[in-house]
Chains A and B, each alone.
Chain A
Amino acid sequence: MSRNLEFCLPDVGEGLGEGEIVAWRVGVGDRVVRDQVLVEVETDKSIVELPSPSEGVIAELGGKPGDILPVGAVLVVMTVAGGSPGTSPDAPPQRVLASPATRKLAVELGVDLARVRGSGPGGRVRKEDVLTAAAPEPSPPAAPTFSERGVRVVPARKSTCGEADGEGTVERVPLRGVRRRVAQTMTRAWQQIPHITDFREVDATRLVAARLRLRDRLGPEFTYLPLFIAAVAAALGRHRALNASLDAEAETITYHRGCHIGIAIATDDGLIVPVLHDADRKSLAQIAVECSTLTQAARSRAVTAEQTMGGTFTITNFGSYGGWLGTPVIRPPEAGIAGFGRIHDAVIPVESVPAVRALLPMVVAADHRLVDGDALGRFAADLAELLADPVLLLA
């Protein structure tokens, strides 16, 4: 006797709501053993391989590459040996019952027939069911309507002639992976967070000297980033309003005890923000080592879900693009973000005499719902002072 086992998408990282199927390692009809890798699933920050929970035969795949499944959705149905006596074996999944015209319509509209509830006799899928599934509004998030070639098909546009796409004038690709997560986060940030921003230039002459000394001690890889992180963590310790989260719905403010600093890292796939936890309790050397680990993990897309969770404040580096500075966008639910430009030599008045000094452009943005302008200014001034005179980091 055999029975069907449904293997649902597990929560592969704390708090992740969904995962994208990257590639199947098995196909329907394959016999698999326990712990054999079934599928590669991409969460917003990493790609994980999911092993089979049991030995059996794959009866159904819960989606195709590119599909996004919510946690808990059926990922694989497998037929496994055993089963309690008396229960009839579930009919294994098979071809969806639908006419050729209905099938063609489904392909044209990018509807996966396996996810359509058929209203015909015995669950046969009718044209109307496909049209309903393709309608943009009521379609549930679990039924993404993407064609196999990854082109989003807009149901309303049932043109009878070749689309412009076929002529190569535009290319439409699905919003997926890191890009999708960045888009979601930034939409939330822009729609919900009223940003206030403080720009200033810091005389970084001592910072440059300090970094050179530290590089001699800690190795040639030592960058400014650990210094920025240590300074931000120190400043956050004195300004808890910027190390906080606002829950507007519950009307509560959460002040974080630890300083968990996100580091924005550009990758080929988009922005990834690994988090350096408890930055306020770590030495510069420790911070430097962790920074380099996190940066490499992000660039190779190997960060774990844990390494991207729990940030309370973010640092972004405008300097690496060569520009002067930019306006950073806060990552909800955080309350602030600091950005640093490129350190460059400039002529400035020092004690009323023109002098060449190293200047560091710096920007801090804060959520105005939590932080007023004067509080932001005081935080920025503290941060600037720590960077201008890094020996204060020892205080």
Chain B
Amino acid sequence: MVVGEVPEGLDLLVVGGGPGGYTAALRAARLGRQVTLVDEAGAAGVGGVCLRTGCIPSKALIEMAETVHRAMAWTRTGPVDLARFQGFKEQIVRQLGDDVRRQLDEAGVRVLQGRFCFTRPGQGAVQREDGGPSRFVEFKDVILATGSRAVELDALRLDGEQVIDSTGALALAALPSKLAVIGGGCVGVELGTAFAKLGAHVTIIEALDRLLPALPATVAHPVQRRLAVLGVEVLLEARVSGFDGDRLKVETLRGLEEVEAALVIVAVGRRPNSDHLGLELIGVRPSVGGMLDVAKDRRIAPHVAAIGDLTPGPALAHKAMAEAEVAADALCGRPAAFDPAAIPAVVFGDPEVAVAGLSAEDARAIGITVRVVAMPLRASGRAATMGATEGFARLVIDTGTDAVVGAQIAGPHAAELISAPVLAIEMAASPADLAGTIHPHPTISELLAEAAGRP
């Protein structure tokens, strides 16, 4: 800090306007704190990657692609107008962003624009990249929620034209004929599937030996089969070594291969935004990979909490939002702990897949004896009417306690369906509880009750 700068006194500061940040801000404001939220993009940045350039826009694209794909299957009409899609997406993003801004405003949360970094414990600077004046602030408590950013590849730098990240992909105004997606994780699979459904020829290139490596293999299988049906090429155990504008050079187990592509989408993971926070000035050192180790109440120091992608665990908005409540409570003097039995994870691929709690492999690895009960999607009449055949509903049951400890669903609306098993896991429901709960007919949710009733 410059000598003579007088810091502005704040009560509780939240750094980052994403789902974690704004949830924490709203919670702390409800608990009576004077909250200030700082985001690099100011009020326009509220909603973060998730709302503005990530989950929400991609779901819009996926939804449209599915609709178009099914319509085309019936009507055999031509390709889709992505420019019109951009208007549709912008409207959703604006409407949802406005809603969050209104909530923050009503809660009395002041929003500042700029990049925050500590100058010493309890003090920091908010610097504007647009050259606007920097502020110096002093605060009682701070919640760090700066999220993560997409990792770049050394062999393939983003150019914003032909080599783009997921944000760029969701801003496309025209559909490329041939595109390659580097990374077979959840973002790569979602985007690859959607663009394939819109009519592009898609190749997905993954370094590991299967798609969706972060999820149990059981849910990756139907996704991989459907991608083949959709005409998507999948190269596994493959690494990109270069791109000449028309062709990607890919090293595979078979040797060097070339993949034709007019556009390359890089989606190879994310890295915590912990490097510009000045954490060394408060004596905090991120672990390898930039993660911040937190206590159960999300604290990293007596008056500093960290949530969301900055902290270990899956980089998911709903995890960040759940942590946000805990962090706000803890810094407001209320005992709190982040201790969920299950954090659901969903991939809006085809089929949609969702997992929660322990997989059978997880359970066995920690010495829990389990049995797995499952029903195939083909057993569902409702799925048949939707033309959906690839999928299942599986439950993992701890035989010792007779409690549901995990669930995996693949099929239409799996992301919606997973909440019932998540509740079952959190409530330590027994399979008999699930089987004895009346599910509506004809629905895909029935499969869960049927699976639970199996011996």
Q: Does A50 contact B (CB under 8 A)?
A: no
Q: Does A331 contact B (CB under 8 A)?
A: no
Known: A29-B366, A97-B428, A99-B428. A148 touches B296 (CB 8 A): yes
Q: Kindly list chain A residues whose C-beta atoms are within 8 Å of the C-beta of B368.
A: 91-92, 94
| Stretch of A117-125, A183-191, A200-208, A292-300 that contacts chain B | A117-125
Q: Kindly list chain B residues whose C-beta atoms are within 8 Å of the C-beta of A100.
A: 340-341, 426-427
Q: Does B334 contact A (CB under 8 A)?
A: yes
A160-179, CB < 8 A from B: 161-168
A137-183, CB < 8 A from B: 147-149, 151, 153, 161-168
- CB of B333 within 8 A of CB of A162, answer yes
The CA of A6 and the CA of B401, in the complex, are separated in Å by 21
Q: Is the interface of A mostly helix, strand, loop or mixed?
A: loop
What is the 8 Å Cβ interface bit string for chain A, positions 91-130, against chain B (1 contact, 0 not)? 1101101111001100110100000000001111000000
The CA of A161 and the CA of B403, in the complex, are separated in Å by 35
Q: Does B369 contact A (CB under 8 A)?
A: yes
- B150 to chain A: closest CB distance in Å? 32
The CA of A100 and the CA of B427, in the complex, are separated in Å by 7
Q: Does B337 contact A (CB under 8 A)?
A: yes
Q: Does B36 contact A (CB under 8 A)?
A: no
Q: Kindly list chain B residues whose C-beta atoms are within 8 Å of the C-beta of A95.
A: 341
- A369 to chain B: closest CB distance in Å? 45
Q: Does A59 contact B (CB under 8 A)?
A: yes
The CA of A68 and the CA of B403, in the complex, are separated in Å by 32
- B323 to chain A: closest CB distance in Å? 14
Which partner residue on chain B sits nearest A92 by CB separation?
A: B367
Q: Kindly list chain B residues whose C-beta atoms are within 8 Å of the C-beta of A92.
A: 366-368
The CA of A151 and the CA of B333, in the complex, are separated in Å by 10
The CA of A280 and the CA of B398, in the complex, are separated in Å by 67
Which partner residue on chain B sits nearest A166 by CB separation?
A: B333
Which of A59, A97, A163, A165 is packed against the most chain B CB atoms within 10 Å? Answer: A97
- CB of B430 within 8 A of CB of A163, answer no
Q: Kindly list chain A residues whose C-beta atoms are within 8 Å of the C-beta of B140.
A: 168
Q: Kindly list chain B residues whose C-beta atoms are within 8 Å of the C-beta of A97.
A: 401, 403, 428
Q: How many A-B residue pairs have CB under 8 A?
A: 73
The CA of A165 and the CA of B330, in the complex, are separated in Å by 11
- CB of A147 within 8 A of CB of B401, answer no
- CB of B400 within 8 A of CB of A148, answer no
Q: Kindly list chain A residues whose C-beta atoms are within 8 Å of the C-beta of B390.
A: none
Q: Kindly list chain B residues whose C-beta atoms are within 8 Å of the C-beta of A168.
A: 140
B392-449, CB < 8 A from A: 398, 400-403, 426-428, 430
- B444 to chain A: closest CB distance in Å? 25
- B124 to chain A: closest CB distance in Å? 20
Q: Does A79 contact B (CB under 8 A)?
A: yes
Which partner residue on chain B sits nearest A98 by CB separation?
A: B428
- Other-chain contact of A103, B333, B339, B402, B430 (Cβ < 8 Å): B339
- A140 to chain B: closest CB distance in Å? 21
Which partner residue on chain B sits nearest A161 by CB separation?
A: B32
Is the interface on chain A under 10, 10 to 19, 20 to 34, or 35 or more residues? Answer: 20 to 34
Known: A124-B428, A162-B31. A151 touches B335 (CB 8 A): yes
Q: Kindly list chain A residues whose C-beta atoms are within 8 Å of the C-beta of B430.
A: 121-122
The CA of A108 and the CA of B426, in the complex, are separated in Å by 18
Which partner residue on chain A sits nearest B326 by CB separation?
A: A107
Q: Does B295 contact A (CB under 8 A)?
A: yes
Q: Is the interface of B mostly helix, strand, loop or mixed?
A: loop
- A134 to chain B: closest CB distance in Å? 12
- CB of B367 within 8 A of CB of A153, answer no
- CB of A166 within 8 A of CB of B332, answer yes
The CA of A286 and the CA of B427, in the complex, are separated in Å by 67
A19-38, CB < 8 A from B: 29
- CB of B31 within 8 A of CB of A94, answer no
Q: Kindly list chain B residues whose C-beta atoms are within 8 Å of the C-beta of A91.
A: 368-369, 400
Q: Does B336 contact A (CB under 8 A)?
A: yes
Q: Does B297 contact A (CB under 8 A)?
A: yes
Q: Kindly list chain B residues whose C-beta atoms are within 8 Å of the C-beta of A147.
A: 335
- CB of B32 within 8 A of CB of A162, answer yes
Q: Kindly list chain A residues whose C-beta atoms are within 8 Å of the C-beta of B331.
A: 166
- CB of A149 within 8 A of CB of B335, answer yes
Q: Kindly list chain A residues whose C-beta atoms are within 8 Å of the C-beta of B332.
A: 162, 166
Q: Kindly list chain B residues whose C-beta atoms are within 8 Å of the C-beta of A166.
A: 331-334
- CB of A108 within 8 A of CB of B340, answer no
- CB of B367 within 8 A of CB of A79, answer yes
Known: A108-B335, A166-B334. A123 touches B401 (CB 8 A): yes
Known: A91-B400, A94-B366, A149-B297. A99 touches B427 (CB 8 A): yes
Which partner residue on chain B sits nearest A95 by CB separation?
A: B341
Q: Kindly list chain B residues whose C-beta atoms are within 8 Å of the C-beta of A123.
A: 401
- A130 to chain B: closest CB distance in Å? 13
- B27 to chain A: closest CB distance in Å? 12
Q: Kindly list chain B residues whose C-beta atoms are within 8 Å of the C-beta of A167.
A: 333
- A129 to chain B: closest CB distance in Å? 13
Known: A91-B369, A95-B341. A122 touches B403 (CB 8 A): yes
The CA of A122 and the CA of B31, in the complex, are separated in Å by 37
Q: Kindly list chain A residues whose C-beta atoms are within 8 Å of the C-beta of B330.
A: 149
Q: Kindly list chain A residues whose C-beta atoms are within 8 Å of the C-beta of B369.
A: 91
- CB of A99 within 8 A of CB of B426, answer yes
Q: Kindly list chain B residues whose C-beta atoms are within 8 Å of the C-beta of A79.
A: 367
- B319 to chain A: closest CB distance in Å? 14
Q: Kindly list chain B residues whose C-beta atoms are within 8 Å of the C-beta of A108.
A: 334-336
Which of A29, A95, A103, A167 is packed against the most chain B CB atoms within 10 Å? Answer: A95
The CA of A149 and the CA of B335, in the complex, are separated in Å by 8
- A268 to chain B: closest CB distance in Å? 20
- CB of B31 within 8 A of CB of A107, answer no
- CB of B401 within 8 A of CB of A122, answer yes
What is the 8 Å Cβ interface bit string for chain B, positions 30-54, against chain A (1 contact, 0 not)? 0110000000000000000000000
Known: A59-B367, A122-B401. 11 other contacts (CB 8 A): A91-B369, A94-B401, A97-B403, A98-B428, A99-B428, A103-B339, A122-B402, A122-B430, A148-B335, A166-B331, A166-B332
Question: 22 A-B pairs, CB-CB below 8 angstroms?
Answer: A91-B368, A92-B366, A92-B367, A92-B368, A94-B366, A94-B368, A97-B403, A97-B428, A99-B426, A99-B428, A103-B339, A107-B335, A107-B337, A107-B339, A122-B403, A122-B430, A148-B337, A151-B335, A161-B32, A162-B332, A163-B334, A168-B140
Q: Which 5 A-B pairs have CB atoms at the shortest separation, nearest pair first?
A: A166-B333, A97-B428, A92-B367, A91-B400, A147-B335
Binding site for A on B (CB under 8 A): 31-32, 140, 295-297, 330-337, 339-341, 366-369, 398, 400-403, 426-428, 430
Binding site for B on A (CB under 8 A): 29, 59, 79, 91-92, 94-95, 97-100, 103-104, 107-108, 110, 121-124, 147-149, 151, 153, 161-168
